[in-house]
A and B are shown apart, each in its own frame.
Chain A
Amino acid sequence: MNPSLCRKLPLVIAAAAALALPLVVTSPTYLHILILLYLYAYLTTSWNIVGGFAGVLPLGHATFVGIGAYTSTVLSLQYGISPWIGMLVGALLSSLVGVLIGLPTFKMRGAYFALATIAFAEGIRVMVENIDYLGPFQLNGPRGLQIPPLKTGLASFMFATKEPYYYIILVMLAGVIALTYAISRSKLGYYLVAGGEEPEAAQALGVNVARAKLIAMAMSSFLTAFAGTFWAQFTLYIHPKSVMSLDISFEIAFIALIGGRGSIAGPLLGALLLRPVGDFSRIYFGDKLPGLHLIIFGVVLILVMLYQPRGLQEPLTRIYNRAMDRMCGGREAAA
């Protein structure tokens, strides 16, 4: 077989398996777990555009989830606008907020950037919790918004079963992975990596680091808002703690860091490893050992940081490549 085709084979098999999975997995509980796994893989891949490639540590991405969720929900509840259009409006609004947050914060070094993003996210959450009406828009403060399940169907982004949600989030995930792949191969990707690792050197070579970071932030917050709309349509109930809490921001960062930030496989791998641990420990030990999965996350995070600072994708990619070399012939043949 053609070596380069042979190398692509596992990816094709994985994609086919993901497409066929709902035929095998029919239990709504497991589908729910899978959907949330893809959702977090999506969120983390979007986060990775700024948190991975640009080498900063944003810890407030839940804000963008919340903006996406609230925008599409308010528009559909109050004005009858389709959530699909609301999704786009929310994403535009979110990327605007992302740029406004990025403008002053990207000048700061590491720790201050992380703190500033936390403060922004928590500040916005507290405000939403205190606002019943934002101008003409009803937000309902801490009580949140309920979406009445009136008419199901693709046009209203609302379904009685979980399978359609599964395929929507799968397509979203595939799209965002393709996009990050394109970014990592583009000039912008190289600018980001250069600016993240050696800002002074990159600046000296004529790279506009600040501009590259802002573009990355705009894209990342745009894509993250999509997940917010999906979340709202999937659960049909949103409130500030459910879509804007610090826990979401931290979980995204944890998944990226354990999987390996700045790589394409990292966020996927992280979500594949961490989400099931969280879900199953909640199902089986939730009442007796609450918070067990968070202890596991913490321990894994520390071990990875100490022994595999580039994340688990690094050793696994190495193993994968070696296996591929053995199966498909050497790398020279592939090139």
Chain B
Amino acid sequence: MLFIIEDTINGILMGSIYGLAALGLTLIFGVLKVINFAHGSMLMVGMYAAYWAALLTGLHPYLTLVIVVPAMFLFGYLLQDVLIKPIFKAEKDVREPITVIIVTTGLWYILDNLSLLIFGPQYRTIPDNPLRGQMLEFGDMMISVPKLWGFCAAIVTALMVYAFLQKTRMGRAVRATSLDRDAASLQGINQYKIYNVAFGIGTAVAGVAGVALVPFYNIFPSVGVLFDIKCFIIVVLGGLGSIGGALLGGMIVGVIESVGPQFMTATWTEAIVYGLFLVFLFLKPSGLFGVKYDW
């Protein structure tokens, strides 16, 4: 019985980091109404950024946040401005241009293979990492310390994004654009700038997830693919566009992955997650917390 509790706790912790990764995706969807297929690659870029920042400056892995977050924000802001904005301008009357999926898929291939070209296929971990393998012991239960910090990062980031959306002037503009881009434009909101900001924040959040993963996860060029499809699943489970939904969806996936292997072959849990995803897609496409929406 104890190991189930232990697995559940570790699943929730790991799942919250999945949720953190998915948070950026759901935010971008909520505002732009498009799915960024390159989101996993953004996470990969964030992980490499954290790795190199820690290696070159000797900063504590978590302190690389001060470099990674602004850099990733800028990266996302520029990508949206250069690559995706032209599509929105060309397809003004399309609510969710499918071309964006295609362009971001191209971006996914470019980023993953560019990092393979530059950094090589080898798995990397931060040397002299103060957090690797650290465990908290509660009686017979072992809780991973870096995952616990990742959980905290997920909660704090979610609260910060929520506060930004609810309390700031820019956040209000983002929400207005998300509700009705034309009406927002009529109020003098520059929708393309809002898209840039939303994409930048979404990418920066992927950077936070990258920093949270780096102390205990291998870094390699195709690491994003592992998270890409997981993030799609999580945002649909939680409801596209919902911040709390992303975290909860992440935790559900995390718990299935960590408790499942007690009852079946580990690889079967993957099939269960896909099955759950499809059930939600068919029966409740708005997810746990999503708004009702014309599918």
Contact = CB atoms under 8 A, between A and B. Distances in A.
B256 interface: no
A129 B267 contact: yes
A298 B35 CA distance: 17
A104 B113 contact: no
Residue of B102, B103, B117, B236 contacting most chain A CB atoms (<10 Å): B102
Interface string A278-290: 0000000000011
B103 A126 contact: no
Interface in B202-232: 229, 232
Given A127-B271, A130-B271, A115 B103 contact: no
A208 B125 CA distance: 56
A112 to B, nearest CB: 6
Interface string A230-266: 0000000000000000000010010001000000000
Given A57-B98, A122-B229, A297-B109, A108 B295 contact: yes
Contact of B270 (A110, A126, A250): A126
B114 interface: yes
Contacts of B6: none
Given A127-B271, A130-B268, A294-B109, A116 B278 contact: yes
A250 B233 contact: no
A250 B265 CA distance: 28
Interface string B23-48: 00000000000110000000000000
A302 interface: yes
Contacts, number: 116
A290 B121 CA distance: 9
Contact of B113 (A109, A129, A291): A291
Contacts of A110: 96, 98, 101
A118 B107 CA distance: 18
Contacts of A16: none
A306 to B, nearest CB: 6
A292 interface: yes
Given A109-B295, A127-B271, A298-B109, A119 B233 contact: yes
Q: Give the size category of A's interface with B.
A: 35 or more
A118 B106 CA distance: 16
A291 B118 CA distance: 11
Interface in A86-135: 104-105, 107-112, 114-116, 118-120, 122-123, 126-127, 129-130
A119 B267 contact: no
Contacts of A126: 267-268, 270-271, 274
Contact of A302 (B107, B233, B270): B107
A297 B229 contact: no
B70 interface: no
A292 B35 CA distance: 26
B152 to A, nearest CB: 30
A23 B265 CA distance: 52
Nearest to A285: B117
A257 B102 contact: yes
Interface in B99-141: 99, 101-103, 105-110, 112-114, 116-117, 121
Contacts of A295: 109-110, 113-114, 117
Contacts of B112: 291, 294
Interface of B: 34-35, 83, 86-87, 90, 96, 98-99, 101-103, 105-110, 112-114, 116-117, 121, 229, 232-233, 236, 265, 267-268, 270-271, 274-275, 277-278, 281-282, 285, 294-295
Closest 7 CB pairs of A and B: A291-B113, A123-B274, A298-B109, A298-B110, A301-B106, A298-B106, A302-B106
13 contacts: A110-B101, A115-B232, A123-B278, A130-B265, A290-B117, A291-B112, A291-B113, A291-B117, A295-B110, A298-B110, A301-B105, A301-B109, A306-B103
